[in-house]
Each structure stands twice: as C-alpha cells, then as structure tokens.
Structure 1
Amino acid sequence: MAKVRAGTLLHGVLHVTIFEADNLYVNDCCNCFPKLSEETFSSGKVGGCRIYTTINLGSTIVGRTRSVNQNEHFNFQWHQSLRIYTAHIASEVVFHIKEDDTIIGAKVIGRAYFPVEELVNGENKDRWLQILNKKHKPLKARPRIHVKLQFFNVTKDINWSQGIKSLDFAGLTHSYFPQRSGCRVTLYQDTHIPTTFFPEILLTKGRYYELHQCWEDIFDAISKAKQLIYIAGWSLCTKITLVRESTCKKQESSDLNLTLGELLKKKASEGVKVLMLIWDDRTSIKWLRNDGVMTTHDEDTESYFDGTGVHCVLCPRNPDKGESLIQGTEVATMFTHHQKIIIVDSDVPNEKSDSRRRILSFIGGIDLCDGRYDTPFHSIFGSLGTVHHNDFRQPNFEGASIDKGGPREPWHDIHCRLEGPIARDVLKNFEQRWRKQGKKDVCLVEIDSLVDTFVPSSLDKFPEDDEEIWNVQLFRSIDGGAALGLPNSEEEVARSGLMNEKEHIFDCSIQNAYITAIRRAKSFIYIENQYFMGSSFGWNSGNLQVQEVGALHLIPKELSLKIVSKIEAGERFSVYVVIPMWPEGIPESNSVQSMLSWQKETMDMMYIDIIQALRAKGITADPKDYLSFFCLANREKKNDGEYKPSKHPQYDSDYNRAQQARRFMIYVHAKMMIVDDEYIIIGSANINQRSMDGARDTEIAMGAYQPYHIKRNEPNRGQIHGFRMALWYEHLGFLDGSFLVPQSLECVRLINNISTKYWDLYCSETLDEDLPGHLLSYPIKVTESGNVTTHLGVEHFPDTKARILGSKSELPFLLTT
C-alpha cells in the first residue's frame, strides 16, 4: 500500500455499513430546539430532527446515508450498506453525523474516526465509535455510532489489468440494467461520411471496416417507423434536414428534403405515436447563457409542434425529494437533461413482411439540432456555400453570422445504434422519464400487450453463432426527479448499484462503468470527450479549497493511478485524450476560463502522479510517453469559387483574426472511451462532475464488447479496433503500422511528433496548403515537477486573448465543474 503525502492510498472498493447511533443529546443538535416536545426536551435527547451520516476520506465526502428519525429507544437506526469506489489518500475514515435541514442544508452534530491503517489488510472491522466534537472532545453522554468497514484493494480484483478474460464476464455488477447478450451495435463518427473518406482498415478474417452514416440511418429509421417514435434530447431544431449530400444511398425517398420538424409531423399524421422530451431551459441566469454555455431552441420547438400530432414536452430538470430548498433551486436552474436518445419500431431482420416489429434505438453525443451536421473533413470555409449555408453556427465569436463569413465551428461527435435486448433498456429509460415528466393524458405504446405486432423481448436477439454480435450494458446518471420507477427498498437500491442519500435515490452507473473499465485496462486507453476535469480531491493547488470545488468523480485519478501501476510493474501503457481547444463559448469569458482552470488542475494532478512514479523507479522519461492530450483544428487555404460574405467581422476581434488566418478549432463533442480495442463506452456523459455525479445532469451511455473477439487469443481486430483506426485516420490524415500497438513508444511518440508538427502549421504566419491533419498537440508543456504550463511566449490560444490555462472566476463551482 503506497504511502503518499499525509495518509495512505485507498485504491479499490470500500464497503461500509452504518447500523445505528445512540445517546445523541439535544445540546448536540441545537437546530432541533423548535421541533422538540416537552417530554423530549426534558429527556435531553434529540427528538424531532432527522439525522444522516456522511462517510469522508480526508475532507472528501464519498458517501451518505438516508435520513432517519429517532426511534422509541432514543437512538437512530440506518442499517444501510454502501459500496464505495475509492482512489483517495487519507489517514482516517471520518463519519460526520448531521442534522438534515430541508431549508438550508445540514449541521454537523459530531464526528467519529476510524484509522485507515486498520483497513489496508482487507479485514472486516465491526466497531462502535465514539462521536466527538470538532475539537475531538466527547459530546455529552458520550454518543456512539456502530459501523462495519472492509476495504478491497484494487489489485485483489480478478479483473484488475486483465481486460475481459472470458465469456463469463457479466459487465458492471451492482447496476440497474444488466448486461445484455445477442445485441448489435453500429458505431458512428460524425453525422455523415462522404464517399471520398475511405480508410482501408483490415479486421479479422480479411474483412475491412465498414463506415456508417449516422443521420441517414436516423432518417431511415424515423421514416420507416409504424408504431412509435420517442425522442429525448438536450436540444432539437425543427428546421434542420438530416440528409444533405447528393451521394445519399436513400435517394429514392420523397421525404429527403423534409426538415426534421416536417418529417415528425408527417409520421404523426400517419398514426405513429411521436413523443418528445426536450430539456426546458428555465434558467434566469442570462449572463451565463450569453457566455454560450447553454443555448437551445426549446421554446421554438414547443411552439412549432403546438396543435399537431407530435407531443412535445419541455422537460425541466426538477429536483428529487431529499434535497434542501437551496439544493433544489440549484438543480432546477443549473443542471440539464442531457440524454440524446431516439427509439423507434423497426422491421424484423430476415422476415419478408414488415408487419412484425422490434425496437431500435440510437444514443450518443449528437443532438438533432443546428451545427451538428459535419463530415470527417470538417471544413470551416469550403462548405459555407453549400451544406452549411443555412446551418451556420459559431458561438465562440460575438456577432458571428453567415453574412460575415467563416470560420464556422466544425463539429466532431460520436453516436451509436443499438439493436436487440439492449434497445428495450433504452426504451425503458424513456418510459420512466415520460411517466415522471411527460403528458399525463398521453399514453405510451404498450408494446408488451401488442403480442401480434412486437416480437417478444425474449426472442429479440441475434443468434449466438453470429460473429458480429455484441454484449451491451446500459448506464445512466439520473435520479427520482427525472425517472419514475427507481426502486425504494434498501435491498433493491443496493442490488441495483443506486445511491440513497437523504431519501434522494440516484444512479451514477456511468461513472462506475468508466472506473471499472479503466481498472480492467491492460495496454492503452483512448478517450474523446468535450470536457476533462475532475478528481479534485487529488488536486495540488495551494490556494484553492478543493473540497469546495466538488469535482469529485474518480475518472482522472483512476487514469493516473493505472499509469502509475504500469510504471511500477515495468509495463508499457498509454493514455490518449482528445478534447476541444477550449470549451464552447467566448474563450475569454468567465465560464470558459473557469473550466480551463479546472482542466489545468486535473492535468497537474495526473502528471505529478506519473512523474513521482517515474522517479521512484529511477526512470528518466517524458511523461507524455504515458499520457498525452490533444485537440482538433482545421486550417484551409482560400479556393476559387468559395462563398463570399457580404459583410465583415469587427476589425480587432477574435472573429476577424481567425478569418484572416483561415483557421479554427474543431469542436470535440464526443463522449467516448476505448479500452484495449476490446471495450467501448459511448454516450452523452462528459468527463466532468455535472455528467458523472448522478444527481446533476441526466445522462445515458452504453458499454459494449464483441464476445467473438474475447474467445480468440489474438490482438483485438473487431469493430472497436476498426472504429478507433477510422477515428485516427480522420484526425491524422493517414494510417501507420504502429497504430496497431497504441501502447508502444513507437506509436505514442509518432503521434506526439505529428500532432506537434500540425500545431506548428496551425500557428504558422504563412498558409500554403490545407492542414494535412486535424490532431494537434494540446498547447501545454510539463515541468520537471509535473506541473502544466504553457510554452514560452504562448500564453493565449491563437487569434484570441484567452489564456490557455484559464483563470479563476466568481462563478458558482456547480456551474463550471
């Protein structure tokens, strides 16, 4: 067990059971005075208040119990067990006993302490602990709390650094949705793939990877639906068209030119049940929205479908029970419904008639709204006269418009289609959300009762001997304020991996899926995500109260600890992370600068971990040989026949400088992780606290692998491998033999060198040719101590006055983490 700074590293799973507390006196819980009866007051015991307990590692809360009242024996009983993923340094497990105040929050009554050093050997510890005040003095009548603890070190996990070893792998245990077998997954990069984008990627048995058209397939699925079309999204724009390229393989359809709004109204008029849940942005924080963090078409979308057969519900992010008034207000005004899902009925494969139906679903990062349509070429000027003329989006510059010209904001994203049993789980998610926040007078299609129409769920599977089948599991970030039907009993909550904190039941299985996938990883991890910040409990900032920041999810720390474990074992391991150059919005704005500062703190923490591990082994190496960050960008020379704007940007503006330099970032909106070309996670969840918390933004994701490739004792060359290689071809403009072994020094150094060259070309004063590739080394360097800084003389992003490393702001932490 590694000793680091003050304390012991607890990396694994901590099992905690809180049984009961006794002898809590009224003077120890002074907020309860107004609630006490005379009998209770005279007894000197806590009466009418509700009490809960938090479990802390150091100053970090890692778990909470539900709130309970005092029983007739004058004590408080929980009998609640928690299973907590840990990657924290601490000397003590601290139990904070608190009074639950539904108005302002909580008041600490007392604290109990358990030394971490007694847990490291994995023994089960059952003990009564004395409850003390903040000066470590006993409270009146010496109250106690009864707890049981057991720590399971990550290295004792049979899957630690082993990948998926056998067909018996059951996915994420303790999860609401089980892993499903007999499924099919189609992977999408960007919304459209032109025929001119054609990498030759060899898979198993001499087959080549096949690219797929996301919005064409969505258009086709919606067009062919006969019973239901369910959509849930952060935003939906009725004016967009899904199919725009003349190479479309479905040109025979007369509906190709319909806008999305027209298509949905047409399907409703045909008798298809069309239900939509669109996030209702009811925030009044206009200064934040002007920063470009949140802009949707919710009111326009509702108005468009008013009086039609399409049932569109603007869906606010309502708080769940158990939250204080202040917490509820924060949820309602600061958090969103961020899931992006489409569910339709579809024909059954290999059946001549289309009368029998099954469920088909799409999930991922792509909303059906403006600015999302793009190709792997990510043109910033060349498409302004064609497919992007009526779909120009550039929220990073004040006053940007098609009349003033490019650069537009290109959009890189990832999505997937799910078939088989997993599609029913996506349907169940929508049904739970509709029953909670949908129209009460509009019923869902009861597919289980339509036995002559829908294939039974038990038969909606692809054959086991199909080499292209997948095992897939659905994950969520969601709570009872957004979904009806989450379990209530303590046993079922625990079995489903849910959290019950102060009667607030929520699901954070997306974070758990990332954690367990990282822990399984053998050789490399490849991440694309819109944000990268978290594990603030491990930040090294001297003047920042990191516990107040609250970006507590484990993913960045898990990544650095995985790398550290491989360094200690003398094994190669590489992590590649692709993020935007900056979070979408005016780059100098408070919100963007704040998020960049959290990103910098996160990078610092990870590189410090890596450098300390290298020093401990006496290894001299570049930490970027193990962990590399990249962003995407494009630069285009001017071509004859290009769209000519009628107006010009303001002279001394970021907009004008970017236009003159003919360059701009490609906005990375993907939310994906690939592990060892074996396992993939795709969804709507960002790597930040908003997405991973479970009680903030609502999210959905899937984790999947192909069993056929698990059986083969060979390098993985299935669909996940092909997808990664296609992404690398898109980003780099070429393929190389070293890409087959991403963990190798040859591969990581080639990519780092090429991405540095592309950054230099992007920043160059001259422009002779288009940028040959889009993958740029993120503009940071790592000092000998592991701190992240900028290169000499390069403190701002090109064409802006925005600091690369960000700056602190007065914005609430909840908004920017």
Structure 2
Amino acid sequence: MSGRQLVREEEEEEVYGHRYMRMPAEPDGDASVASFRLPESARAFDELPRARIVGVSRPDAGDITPMLLSYTIEVQYKQFRWLLYKKASQVLYLHFALKRRAFLEEFHEKQEQVKEWLQNLGIGEHMPVVHDDEEADDVHVPSHHDEQTVKNRNVPSSAVFPVIRPALGRQQSVPDRAKVAMQEYLNHFLGNLDIVNSREVCKFLEVWAVLKPGFLALLQDPFDPKLLDIVIFDVSPRMDRNGEGQIALAKEIKERNPLHFAFEVSSGGRTIKLRTRNSAKVKDWVSVINTARRPPEGWSAFNAIASSIEDAKSEIFITDWWLCPELYLRRPFQHHESSRLDILLESRAKQGVQIYILLYKEVSLALKINSLYSKRRLLNIHENVKVLRYPDHFSTGIYLWSHHEKIVIVDNQVCYIGGLDLCFGRYDTPEHNVVDVPPSTWPGKDYYNPRESEPNSWEDTMKDELDRTKYPRMPWHDVQCALYGPACRDVARHFVQRWNYAKRNKAPNEQAIPLLMPHHHMVIPHYMGNSKETNEEESKQTHDKDIRVQRLNSLKTPASCQDIPLLLPQEPDHQALPNGDLSPNGLDINHGHSDHPNKTNWNQPFPYQKAKQDTSLQDLQMKGFVDNLGSPEVSVITRYNTSKPNMHDMNKDWWETQEREDKVASVLDVGEVGPQATCCCQVVRSVGPWSAGTTQIEGSIHNSYFSLIEKAEHFVYIENQFFISGLSGDDTIKNRVLEALYRRILRAEKDKRCFRVIIVIPLLPGFQGGIDDGGAASVRAIMHWQYRTICRGPNSILQKLYDVVGSKAHDYISFYGLRAHGRLGDGGPLVTNQIYVHSKLMIIDDRMTLIGSANINDRSLLGSRDSEIGMIIEDKEVVSSTMDGRHWEAGKFSLSLRLSLWAEHLGIRPAEVSQIMDPVDDSTYKNIWMATAEANTMIYQNVFSCVPNDHIHSRTQFRQSFAHRKEKIGHTTIDLGVALGKPETREDGALAGTDPMEKLQGVKGHLVSFPLEFMCQEDLRPFFGESEFYTSPQVFH
C-alpha cells in the first residue's frame, strides 16, 4: 500500500481492513512552541481526492433525525480507493474544527502583525504568544499564511446546513435527501486542496500507527518506511463459543490525569502504551486491534483469491466442482459488494483479461448444483469470459464420475489448490459459528446446511433456504494452498489440457471458444513413458530432430496427435530460485518469464532430462511432473498404467528427482494465512481418457499416498472428507492407502518404535437426510463403506490390528471429528452441528505435506474415475523441534501448518503451543489430544445427545431417541442438535440440574472422538426397496 494513502486520526478510517492513525507521544521539552507548515513537496496529496456517497443508514428505522444518519463514503485518490463510515455528527465536528482553525490562523497572523508593529516602535523585543492548550492533537496552528490561504481554508457554514436539515426535493425519503446534501458538502470540501492537504506539526511529538492484519507498525513519518517499532500479533484461537479464553491484544488503561486517554497493546511478551484524543477513540482502537489477528480461512483463502483476481493482467483459469457466481469473497458482505465473484470477473474482463472457466456438468437428477445456471450467469458478464461444462453424459457415456479439482490460476504466476470450491457454504472462520442472526457473514443461501436441506433453486441467492431461528448452519473446515513459481505453471498446464480436450469434444467448431497454449515451464510431454536414462551432457548436444525421434521410439504404443502437447524451449537465461530468498509477498512474478514469450526459435537444440525409472515396473508406473529447477531441462511427465498397483514398487523414492523448488503458503481456517517457505513441490493427478483425453490412466495421487506413508518415520496426520480404502486382497475397494498404513504400523510394532496415525474425518456424510429417513440411503451407504474400512469386518484396519497387537491398536491409530455449538439468536435454543471436514490433507513427520482435491476413496484415487489434482510439498527450510522426546529437524511449512491446525482443534492458546510440539509423545497424544477429544465428546453427549454417538446402535434406538427429544423440546434438528432449555427450579429456588451453557464452558476447541459403535447393529447398505440398490456401488466408494 502506498505511503501516501493515509488517514488522519480525526477521520478514524478503515482502509480495506488497514487503519492509519497519528498518535501523540510524550511532549518534547526542546520542541518549538510555534508550529510550522511543511514544504509543498511533503504534503499528503498532490492532487484532489474524490469522494462519493454510496450508502446512508440509520440505527432505528423509526428515527428520522438527520444527525443520527450514518454515511458510507467511498474515497479515491489516484489508484487507491477506500471506504469511510461516518455519522453526520462527525462531519459537523470536523467542519467546526476547521472553522476554529481558520479563526486561530487569522488571530495568529494579526498577532504577528501587532508584534512587528510594536517592535518597530521599540516597545518590546518579545511579545507573549497565545497558545491553545485545549487544541486537539490533530488541530495545528500554522505560523504564517497569506490572506488568500486563510480565506481558502475557511469553509462557509452555509455549506453544512443542508446536512443538518436536508431540504425537500425530488427524493422522497430522508436518507435520499441526506445523501444528496452530504454529496454536495463533500464536493465543496474536497474542492479545496488547502483544506484536505493540511499536514502541520504541533508542539507534541507524534507517531503514525499503521494497523494491518497481523501487525501494528509505528512510523515517525508516513513517507518514511523506516520503522520506529512493530508488534507482530499472536494467533489466538478462542477457547469456547462465547469468546471466553480469548487473549486480548489491546486493552484500555486508566491514566492518572483524567484528561489523558490511553490503551496498551501486548503480544509476544512485550507491551507498548499509546495515547489518543478521547475515550471513544480508545475503545474503537482496542476493538479493531483485537480483531486484527491473522485472517481466518474463509477470509484468507477467498480474500487472497479476490486480490489475485483484482491484480490479474492477462488471463485467469478457474475450474471447480461447484461454482456460484454470486459468492462474496470478502465479508461482511454488506460492505464488500464489489467482492462478489461475478462482479470481480466482470471488472477484469472489461480491462482485457481473458477468463476461462471449466465447470463440472453434473447429472441434474443426482445433484442440485445447477452448473447450467452458473454458466449462463458467467457468459452474460462479458465476451472475454469463456465457459465450458464437461462431460456431456449422453455422448461420452460418463454418468458416475465427476471433475473434482478446485483450481484458480492467475497469469500463470500464482495458483490456489486444495479443497475449496468457489461456492456457497465454504466461507468460514476459526470459531466455526453455527449461527448468523441477523445475517452479516452468510447471506441467503450461503447459510448452508446440506444435512437439513439442499436448495432447489439458485435464482434468488439472497433468499434464505433455512430458517435461521430454527436450524444451525454446518460449519466448514478446509485447507487451501497458494503456490508461486514454476509448479504453478504445471497446474496451469493441467487446466489447459482439460480445457482443450473439452473444447475438442463439445465445441470443435465454435470460434468463440479458443484452444489454449501452455506457457513456458508447463509443457510436460506425457508420452516419454519408458525411455532409458540419458546422459545430461549428451542430451544437451543432441539436436531437436534427434530427440524427437528418440522420444517416439521409446513409446510402447503410439500416441495420438491430441496426446502430444506443443513443445516449447526453455528460456536460456533461466536461473535457479535462491533457497530462502523470499520476496515480501512470496510472489516472484519475473521468475521464468522471458522478455519475448512468443518468440520461439525452433532450430535451437532442445535439452531435456528423462525421468529415472525402474525398467521392472510393469503394473505400477508412476506419473508426475519432473523438473530440475536449477537446470534448463524441460519438465517431463511420464505416463503409466495404474490399474494393478504393485505394492513393493510403491516404496521407490520417486520424488527424489520429480520435484520443483517453489514458494508455497497454506490458507487455513485456523486464524492465519499459513507460513510462506521455499519448498520442493510436486504436482500429482488423477486423470484418464474420459477426463483429460490421456491415452493412459494416471493415478499419481494414489501412489503418492502409499509412498509417503511407507517413508514415514514417526507419524501420519490425515484430514479428509472420506476414508474408504482396502487391504491387500480386497477385490471391492481398489485403493491401497489402508494397506500402506497397516504395513507401516506392523513395522513399528516389529521394531518396538512409537508410531502414530491420526485421522480426522466428518462425523456424518454431508448429504441431505436423517439417519433413518427413507431418502437417505446414500448417507447410510457411505457410512457402511467407511465403517467397513475403519472397524467393522475382517477387512477393517482396527480389526486386523487387534488380531496382531490387541488393545495396543489405539496407540497406533485413532479417528476423530469436529463439532461446534452456539445459540440461535438472543434467547434462542442452544444448538450444535458437526464441523464438516472437507480438507484433503496429509502431513508426514512435520516434513512433508500433501494438499489437494482428492478424497481417500476409489473415486478420487484410481485415476479412471473422478479427476483430481494435488501438490506434494517437501520442506527445504528446517526448524528445531522435538519428536518422540528427541531433537528433530522439522520442516518450517509442515510444522507450522500442523501446529496451527492442532491449536484450533484443541483450543490451544499461543503461549501453550509448545505443549503440542511433539505429536507422538504420550504427553501430547494421550494427555492432550485424546483427552480433549474424549472430554468434549462427553460434554456434547450430556447436553445434546446428538448423533452420531456410541450409545445408538440401531435405527430403532435412533427413532426412540429422536421421538423422546422432539417430545421434550418440540423441535430438533435432523441430527438431534438442539439442547433442552434451562433446568427447572426446585421449591428452594435452586436449579434441578446444571445449566447446559455452564456445561458447555468445558468444551475446548472442536475436537471430538469419532463414534466407532454408532449403528453397529445395522446393515447400512441399500436394500432392494431403495433406488440406490440399483446404482453401482462404485458411486459410493
């Protein structure tokens, strides 16, 4: 943000979340008594700013007093724009302060004239100068101005009268008339540069306080970037839903002098004290600082995407399973109308940015995401917006599988990858609020709970689908990754491949839908399958023609023309990214770009490097992006068949050569934008002939899971929307993530080593229908396959481990969910709901991380079904940590990500984070993690008796429990999420029981145990009377 974009203390402005303020320090005894005016070059503005009234509101609809009206004012100076929220009384105060200043300036000028006249007469050398000790901190008296300047700075009072009493006119309402009056006053006010541009210095030394998300900086001068001091705020998740346990960053303090008003800011073990003009400003600053922690996931992920879209210069790629054009990327939505996705895209399209959006075309009978509506809305934005939906079900015969990637790529320089679709229900905060009454964060259908009801229409998105006074929303937990560097262009290459395949199949003759060309660094030939190792020096001497022949000869089967991507040479001046050399925003936009990207010399030698392979690989053959960043080789993708994975070969160190060194940052729902670090990044995918037009199936995400788990030394931490996998020999479930975990645990048992596997999944599938509802067969079917994986039947991992290690199985592997609670408005009932775990994340030993869109099930991992994309991140920057009681060199990115997630789940304060540094030691795993989950589970059971729980073993028991709760309460949610009211009062005046809210004070964080005994007496598979019985079981796993 420019140093010229400043806001004075009296204006008390908020600039898109950034606040600027001048604060007085202690008086300087040597300071000159007289003020002085800064030279013209040091003024705050060198041209007139502009202001526009964009809204008028009042606190009470029945109160028509103009002085109580609040104005939303949009101010623009050059390329900067910000919003002010001002009452009419504040405008009047500023007006009369300026009048007072003009009077004092004229008085001092006359005083100087009298002094000069008396000195000429020899009456006195020094005359006393009148000073106004009551002058506000920001009202300064210049020492000398000419008559014209004083005149220009005197705003006539007649200009402000219409603001006090808006005149009758064509506008029918008081707010409309007030809006016109205020606009006229602003035009008059901003029409004089001397008034707006005042920047004098008084006898007090002052500092400028710059508040941004994550820190408070103190500057001596806003035009000098040199810091006087800076306070970095700690991440401080709440301990409970009422905000108790929240660590305050700022608090008001009382001064001995009743005319002094101050507050202090504390963080990281240090405290600074600041003064301002009055107690109201102290309260305002304390409030805004305490909300200035690092932004939450919904804010951080969506806000980061919005900022990237706003900065787009050439093109934007978006592909989602579900996309809502009316989604607000910034909240509160009332103050960020321009952040709505369709408005953002329209703004960039009008600036010439080409926007390509690839949507999954759903089977409308099965899903209600209505991609056709989204396509029509997007196409109406601008001609520069191109939209494709795929697949066409009838022509392709694809009805069961989906495009499941969630990607946003801007200018091939930054991309966002993970579990977040740009759609309703995904925005959330670390608190995971279950209520929003009245709506301020989740408008209309964004107040989303698919367990209760899926919207049937998207025509009126601002209309509520759920009754907010009866039903909680379903909080959403997700993890998103922001990636900068060459691997970002590998992700873009994936989009280009999918776009071109959809274009050829759906619109081959449509001129308005272009074919896309990959940019440099993202051309990854997939047909270099089983080529032998080639010496690098020899390859550099080989001509392009020879290389092409060698590549084609290496194929087992010929590749079609559509399978062969365009080959582009690397830039000769390509340089390796220095390790640890991070730019302030982590975006190296110049890296890897040539000055003339369209100039290609096809006669130049084309060096390349082939992937190392084991020629014995037949059944399992890895595919991945290969690029050695420090060398001029092109990146290579190798293609193999993954239909019959060979578990032995999955142990190969395949990532040792298939990596990129890039900058990566996570975006989580833990109160912060995650750490930015230099890492080696590897793009992995699940694609096949139907989804991307490849000749062979790619299942590198599946292979990545297996390899990373096998390489784990101490622990595996998994968050995923599903956990459906099979052991060796399972002919129904084909993916072998479960087999990898089982083998690794057996090895730990054999070696007598401590090893932990911690898995966090949703408590229930996020689909509509109660456990016992006739239309909820899909919910029960998914539950069947998950319980089959976890604990039921001979092929479940817990059963297999019990057969080998007995009760020690839970020392090795355990399962958890997340839950939150709140009150439905003032005086409303207490409610709870699961926090829907939608992240697709795995952390290994605090050193390696896998983030992407793929669930742990056959749909996402086999490659022949849903299309997916992911990113393996290996830390190159290490920090000192502990593991199993010993010193451990952990990765900067992976460790910080896990600590952030665990701090939120456990309700850990920043000062207590050291308690969870060692994830496998009993003091952490048993005494904190497991103990917190068990305690929270018990409290929720006592207060709500919500499902799922370990006490309900059959549908009959569920019906009885549901009927009992409904009879007592009169209304409950589909998962028994409403608590009983306050306990009755006995004759002696005491309560007959404990107040539910008092019990809930004991909940820490959100972690709860996953109920392994829920519905254990039921066969949850669809039966012949349900339509799902006739659907292929592959749909559910």
Specify if TM > 0.5: yes
Is 1:220 aligned with 2:285?
Answer: no
Q: Which residue of 2 aligns with 1:627?
A: 813
Q: Which amino acid aligns with 2:350?
A: S
Task: Determine the structure 2 residue equivalent to 1:666.
Answer: 835
CA contact (8 A) 1:567 1:613 kept: no
Q: Secondary structure of the equivalent of 1:436? A: helix
TM-score (normalizing by structure 2) = 0.46
Equivalent position of 1:305 in the other structure:
378
- Shift in alpha-carbon separation, 1:711–1:375, aligned structure 2, 3 A: closer
CA distance in 1, matches of 2:839, 2:466: 25
> Which residue pairs with 1:270 in the alignment?
351
Letter in 1 for 2:301: C
Partners of 2:519 and 2:837 in 1: CA distance: 39
CA shift in 2, pair 1:278/1:425, >3 Å: same
Are the equivalent residues in 1 in contact too, given 2:391–2:502 (CA < 8 A)?
no
- Once the two structures are TM-superposed, the CA of residue 635 in structure 1 deviates from its matched residue by 1.5
Task: Give, as a single letter, the amino acid of the residue that structure 1 aligns with 2:491.
Answer: V
After the TM superposition, which residues 554-633 of structure 1 pair with which residues of structure 2 at under 5 Å, given as runs?
Answer: 554-585=736-767, 586-588=769-771, 589-604=776-791, 605-614=796-805, 621-633=807-819
Match of 1:433 among 498, 507, 525: 498
Matched, 1:733 2:907: yes
Displacement of 1:197: 9.0
Matched residues in 1 for 2:439 and 2:296: separation? 26
- Is 1:683 the counterpart of 2:870? The answer is no
The structural deviation recorded for 1:304 is: 0.6
8 Å contact 1:684–1:701 — kept in the other structure? yes
Cα offset, 1:551, TM superposition: 1.9
Aligned pair 1:338/2:404, yes or no?
A: yes
Q: Which range is displaced more, 720-729 or 403-412?
A: 403-412
TM-score, normalized by length of structure 1? Answer: 0.58
Residue aligning to 1:462: 577
SS at match of 1:476: strand
Higher relative contact order at CA 8 Å, sep ≥6: structure 1 or structure 2? 1
Residues 20-59 of structure 1 aligned to structure 2 (within 5 Å): none
Q: How does 1:399-798 map to 2 (within 5 A)?
A: 401-402=466-467, 405-438=470-503, 440=508, 441=511, 442-443=513-514, 446=517, 448=519, 459=574, 462-466=577-581, 468-484=677-693, 486=694, 505-535=696-726, 547=731, 550-585=732-767, 586-588=769-771, 589-604=776-791, 605-614=796-805, 621-637=807-823, 640=826, 662-709=831-878, 714-716=888-890, 718-734=892-908, 735=912, 737-750=914-927, 751-765=929-943, 766-768=996-998, 769=1000, 771-780=1003-1012, 789-790=1013-1014, 795=1015
After superposition, the Cα gap between the structure-2 partners of 1:815 and 1:666, relative to the gap in structure 1 and judged at 3 Å, is same
Runs of at least 5 residues in structure 2 that lack an aligned partner in the other structure: 1-236, 238-242, 250-265, 269-292, 455-464, 522-568, 583-676, 882-886, 944-995, 1024-1028
Do the aligned partners of residues 386 and 449 (structure 1) sit closer, same or farther apart at CA in structure 2, a change above 3 Å counting?
A: closer
Q: Deviations over 1:786-814 (max 9, x none)?
A: xxx34xxxx49xxxxxx898445424211
Q: Offset of 1:397 from its aligned partner?
A: 1.4
| Closer/same/farther in 2, CA of residues 672 and 422 from structure 1, 3 Å limit | same
Classify 1:384/1:527 alpha carbon distance in 2 versus 1 (closer, same or farther; 3 Å). farther
CA distance in 1, matches of 2:434, 2:890: 35
Q: CA deviation at 1:746?
A: 2.6
Which residue pairs with 1:360 in the alignment? Answer: 414
Question: What one-letter code is carried by the residue in structure 2 that aligns with 1:339?
Answer: E
CA offsets 1:386-443 (integer angstroms, 9 cap, x no match):
1013321111114761455431011111110111110010010011011100355333
| Matched position secondary structure for 1:377 | coil
CA pair 731-710 structure 1, distance change in 2 beyond 3 A: closer
| SS of structure 1 residue aligned to 2:577 | coil
**Displacement after TM superposition at 1:305 (Å):** 2.2
Contact in 2 for aligned 1:265/1:309 (Cα 8 Å) = no
Q: Aligned residue for 1:816?
A: 1036
Q: How many residue pairs are counted as aligned between the two chains? A: 517
Distance 1:455 1:764, change over 3 A: farther
Matched ranges for 1:37-436 at <5 A: 213-245=300-332, 257-281=338-362, 283=363, 286=365, 289=366, 294-307=367-380, 308-317=382-391, 329=397, 332-345=398-411, 359-382=413-436, 385-390=439-444, 391-398=446-453, 401-402=466-467, 405-436=470-501
Measure how far apart 1:447 and its partner are: 6.9
Which protein is richer in strand relative to its size? Answer: 1
Which amino acid is 1:748 matched to? Y
Alpha-carbon displacement from aligned partner over 1:771-792 (angstroms, at most 9, x marks no partner) = 4321100112xxxxxxxx34xx
Tell me by how many angstroms 1:382 deviates: 4.3
Q: Distance in 1 between matches of 2:942 and 2:1006?
A: 15
Letter in structure 1 aligned against 2:798: Y
Give the fraction of aligned pairs with identical amino acids, expressed as a percent. 27
Q: Please state how far the C-alpha of 1:736 moved relative to its aligned partner.
A: 5.2
Deviation at 1:239, TM superposition (A): 0.8
User: Counterpart of 2:900 in 1: which secondary structure?
Assistant: helix
* Paired amino acid for 2:447: F
- 3-state SS in 2 of match to 1:552: coil
Instruction: Quote how far apart the aligned CAs of 1:306 are.
Output: 2.8
CA deviation after TM superposition for structure 1 residue 520, in Å: 0.4
Contact (CA 8 Å) 2:721, 2:840: kept in 1 or not?
yes
Match of 1:322 in 2: none
| C-alpha distance 457-336 of structure 1, shift in aligned 2 (>3 A) | farther
**Cα distance, 1:385–1:805 mapped onto 2, change above 3 Å:** farther
Which residue identity is paired with 2:843? I
The separation in 1 between residues aligned to 2:580 and 2:452, in whole angstroms, is: 53
Q: What SS is found at the alignment partner of 1:469?
A: strand
SS of 2:850's equivalent?
strand
Q: Secondary structure at the match of 1:343?
A: strand
For structure 1, the 5+ residue unaligned runs are 1-188, 203-207, 320-324, 346-357, 487-503, 539-545, 616-620, 645-659, 781-788, 797-802
| CA distance in structure 2 between the partners assigned to 1:694 and 1:606 by the alignment | 24
Answer yes or no: is the 8 Å Cα contact 1:637–1:767 preserved in 2.
no
For 1:268, the aligned partner's letter is A
Instruction: Give the CA RMSD over aligned residues.
Output: 3.6
Distance in 2 between the 1:525 and 1:457 partners?
A: 41
SS in 1 for 2:889: coil
On the 8 A contact 2:687/2:866 being kept in 1, the answer is yes
Q: Quote the Cα distance in structure 1 between the aligned partners of 2:346 and 2:1018.
A: 45
Greater CA deviation, 587-596 or 389-398?
389-398
CA-CA distance at 1:728 after TM superposition: 0.8
